[in-house]
Every structure is written in C-alpha cells, then in structure tokens.
Structure 1
Amino acid sequence: MTLNSNEIAALAARLDDAQTGVHDTLSLADDNAVDIDDAYRIQEALVARRLGRGERIVGVKLGFTSKAKMAQMGVSDVIVGRLTDAMQVEDGADVDLHRLIHPKIEPEVAYRIACDVDLDDPDADIVACVDAVAPAMEIIDSRYRDFRFTYTDVVADNTSAAAYVIGPWAGLRDVADLEVRMTVGETTVTGSTAAIFDDPVNALHALLDMCRRRRIPLGAGDVVLAGAATAAAPLTAGAARCEIAGLGAVTVKGIA
C-alpha cells in the first residue's frame, strides 16, 4: 500500500531530525510498509527540506555498485542519492565528527558532467557529457540505530549521504582497473576501481537508467560519485587519504 503524502512528510522529517540533531533512529520498516517508490518519495521530501534551508543540489551519488553488495542486499539495481553543496569538503580540509552519528569513509571515483543530459533522448550518451574524473572519498553516515536497515531504508535516507571530498580533476580517461589505497588513521584498505561495476564507466550507464526511471535530473556541472572501490572504514580523528594509481590522491581530516 502506497504511503500518503502526510506519511511521506513525517518519515522525511524523522530522518532529517536525526541528521540535524545528530541522533539515530529505528528502521522505518519497523512500523511502516515502505516500498521502493515510497522510499524515493521520502528521499525527495528529505532533500526538499535541505533545499528549504538554503542548500542546493550539486550532483548525485551511486550506491550498491558492487556486485557483492547487491547480492548481500538481495537487489539487482543501483541506488541513487543527491549531493548538496553543504556536503562538500575541500581537499585537505577538516570534518567535524561531532556533527555526525557514526561516520564511515570510502574511496570513490568522481566524474564531472559538462552538459545537461536529456533523460528523454533514448540516444543520450552520458559518457559524452562527462569531461573530467578525479579521486574522491565519500563520508557515509547512516541515520539508523545499530546499522539495522532495509534496502528501502537506505534509499529513503538519501543513501546515507553525509559529505564528500574530491581531489584534483583530470581529463576523462580509462579508470577501469586502477589500484586503490585508502588509509584512515592506523587502518589501511586496498582494492581496485574494478570493484565499481567492473569499470566505473558502467556505473554512469546504470546512473542514466535510474535517473530516467526516477526523473532525477543530470545537469552541467554536476558531480557524480560512482560508488565505493573498497569496503568503508570508520572515520576517526586524524587524516584519511585515498590514492588511486595513475589518477591522484585526496585527503580529509577528522576532528573530534
């Protein structure tokens, strides 16, 4: 049964209050029947609350771009969340950990869109609309207690989006199988960009398909976070650095 507009607004407010008040909340699925269409409606209402506070949308992020993660969650589609300017962190800058509930950080590949993508053009080539690629890290911060959530919970929570940092942009190039190394305090994780849908460019095609289905616009200047190249690591006080071989490095510093 589809949730009504009042129920959608109430669940979006619940998630927004958790984020702004820096406290967790129980899974929405505990007392609501939320299907995937409702989840995206909640996400839209949640993002609208942020826009109402003066934030602006600057891009999108992909989740479940790992085949292993898809299998774990029992899904066959990527998920899409929205990025706002308030989530941007400059390369090398500080992140106040007191503003986050239980943050984790993961290495990503970022793309920059140079022209508007016509979602209604069946021949639209999203790759042709991309002019740059960069190393990046995303800070995720699920608002759910004890990390207990469903697939639709994640979508409703704007795919756990909290913050992101992007390193130097480079001209568009093949980043299909590059070594990735991320160090967070004493923790080091390694992997490959191949973990992102076998090739991060495949994530762009999956993004276009989802944006068509969910009517999420893709415009000139938008940033796309293509998905995580390794498992996420807890973000603690101190430096976090991601290096992608042949592409570059990006850093951020957690402040407790």
Structure 2
Amino acid sequence: MSADVHALATTLEAAVRDRRAIPKLTDGADLDIASAYAVQREVIERRTRSGERLAGVKMGFTSRAKMIQMGVDDVIWGLLTDAMLAEGSVDVSGLIHPRIEPEIVYLIGREVRSVAEVESCVAGVAVGYEVLDSRYEDFKFTLPDVIADNASAARFGFGAWHAPRDLSNAGLLMEIDGRPVQTGSSAAILGDPARSLRAAARLALGAGTPLEPGWIVLAGAATAAVPLPAGAHVRITGAGLASVEVTT
C-alpha cells in the first residue's frame, strides 16, 4: 500500500516514546525516498510544535563502504533539535539500542545561501559524537526506512570550538572507560569532511531549509559506531581539536 505520511510518523513517534523496536516501515508501506523525507519532516515538525528548536543537521552514509552496502550514490541527512543535545551525559535507558560514533562538527556563523559559500560561513570546528538509535528491530532497515527515522538520530554532543581549519586528515580516537574502541581519520568522511559540509548545504537548501547561524553540522562518522552501554565513560579525541567526554 502507499505511504501514509502522518500514520508512519505516528508509528515512529510511538517507538521513541515507548522505547520499543518496530518492524521496518517498508514491511507494510510503499515508501519511496521522497515519502521517507516527508515522514522525517513530519516527525520533526511535531517536535518543533511541541517546543523544540531546530539546532542543525546530521549527515549519514558519508562512508563509501556504507554507500556501496546500501546501494546508494549519495549521502542522506537528518535534522537535529536542541532536545537531542547531550551536555555531558546520556540516559541510555531512554533509548532502544544506542550506539555512539565520533564526529567532526561544524558551527555555522551566518546563514548559508549557497553551496559555494558554506565553508566561508563556518565559525568554528570541533570534535564531537553522535548517539544513534534506530527505532527498527535488530538495527536493520532499508534506505527509505532510515531516512524516515531521521537517519537514526538520537543524541549528539561536541567539545570546545576551534578556529576553522583543514580537517581533511585529522586523527580521531574513541575510548570507553579508558579503553580504545575505535581509531580513524576524518578522511573517512567522504575523503574530506568539507565535502560532507557542502552536501549538507546542498540538501538543506534543496529542501528549503537553509543552514542558519548557530546551527551545527555533524559531518558524519569517521569510524564504525559501537554499542553504548549504561554506566560508561566515553572520551573522543581529535587531533588538534582536544576532546569531548560523555557518561551514561
């Protein structure tokens, strides 16, 4: 059957509220990419109507390997709200099956009116993290499913801001309870996270949502995401960007 945007948004809302994994939406709906983004936007608009504020965008499938795995040739994106910002701690008991990954984060200093100018609009860069929490059973989904689910966005955080700089090959280390669990380079993000930043501007402008001053862009994962357990201390360090920490 065809996609009922409002009904599918309600299904995803209920999964978040009840902390309950659900079957893929595509198991019962004819969900294409355009409809999936419509579901995503409906969910976010409900959140903003309830008082949350848009805080930026997140990029997904910024790894070439992930693109090949999913059979796509472009990145996807989702929207962030202020309620997703984790200031030092994340209550994982409120999530279904959380995972965490290291990120390069951009701070937008002025409205982005074109893709060509987006890099000149960056006011700062930081090392950060994203907590993913797919609402689907077994963390398995198709491309339309993950888009509708706001690209699995759940929580995010970042460290101190630094002056904009070349981040095409910045080393990143993620530790949990003092033990290294992932190491990588920002080059894993489309070869250079600046490419992901430009893609964020392209997709946002195309959707009529220009990047605004004060918003952030999560450029994408530099390593694979790992499960985030309760009672953990996570530190993510970026070369030249210091570190950010979060507890659960």
Q: TM-score range by the shorter chain?
A: over 0.9
Letter in 2 for 1:22: R
Which amino acid in 1 is paired with 2:102? Answer: P
CA distance in 2, matches of 1:230, 1:137: 11
> Per the alignment, in what secondary structure is the counterpart of residue 106 of structure 2?
strand
Partner of 1:99: 94
Provide the rounded CA distance (Å) in 2 between the counterparts of 1:112 and 1:207: 13
Question: Which structure 2 residues correspond to residues 1-256 of structure 1 after superposition, within 5 A?
Answer: 3=3, 7-90=4-87, 93-119=88-114, 124-185=116-177, 186=179, 188-236=181-229, 237-254=231-248
Say if 2:201 and 2:210, in contact at 8 Å, map to a contact too.
no
Conserved? CA contact 1:170–1:247, under 8 Å: yes
- 1:89-131 Cα shifts (integer Å, max 9, x gaps): 12xx221111100000000000000111125xxx741001111
Number of corresponding residues: 246
* Shift of residue 2, structure 1, vs aligned partner: 6.1
Amino acid at match of 2:203: M
Amino acid at match of 1:37: A
What amino acid does structure 2 have at the position aligned with 1:129? C
Q: Distance in 2 between matches of 1:96 and 1:132?
A: 28
Deviations 1:130-188 (A, max 9, x none): 11000000000000011121011010000110000110000100111011110124551
- 1:88–1:163: 8 Å Cα contact kept in structure 2? yes
Distance 1:2 1:132 in 2: 43
In structure 2, runs of 5+ residues without a counterpart are none
The DSSP-based 3-state class of the residue aligned with 2:237 is strand
- Say whether the 8 Å CA contact 2:103–2:128 is kept in structure 1: yes
In the alignment, the residues of structure 2 paired with residue 109 and residue 141 of structure 1 have an alpha-carbon distance, to the nearest angstrom, of 19
Letter in 1 for 2:237: E
2:15 and 2:135 in contact (8 A); partners too? yes
d(CA) in 2 for partners of 1:60 and 1:23?
25
Mapped partners of 2:147, 2:171: distance in 1: 29
Distance 2:201 2:86 in 1: 26
- CA distance in structure 2 between the partners assigned to 1:157 and 1:217 by the alignment: 21
Post-superposition shift, 1:58? 0.7
Amino acid at match of 1:247: L
| Aligned-CA RMSD value | 1.3
Q: Contact 2:118–2:198 at 8 Å: present in 1 too? A: yes
SS in structure 2 of the partner of residue 89 of structure 1 = coil
Deviations 1:75-96 (A, max 9, x none): 0111110000000112xx2211
Provide the C-alpha distance between the structure 1 equivalents of 2:202 and 2:112, rounded to a whole number of angstroms: 12
Q: Distance in 1 between matches of 2:203 and 2:89?
A: 33
TM-score by length of 1: 0.93
Identity of aligned residues (%): 46
Q: Do the aligned residues in 2 keep the contact of 1:65 with 1:196 (CA within 8 Å)?
A: yes
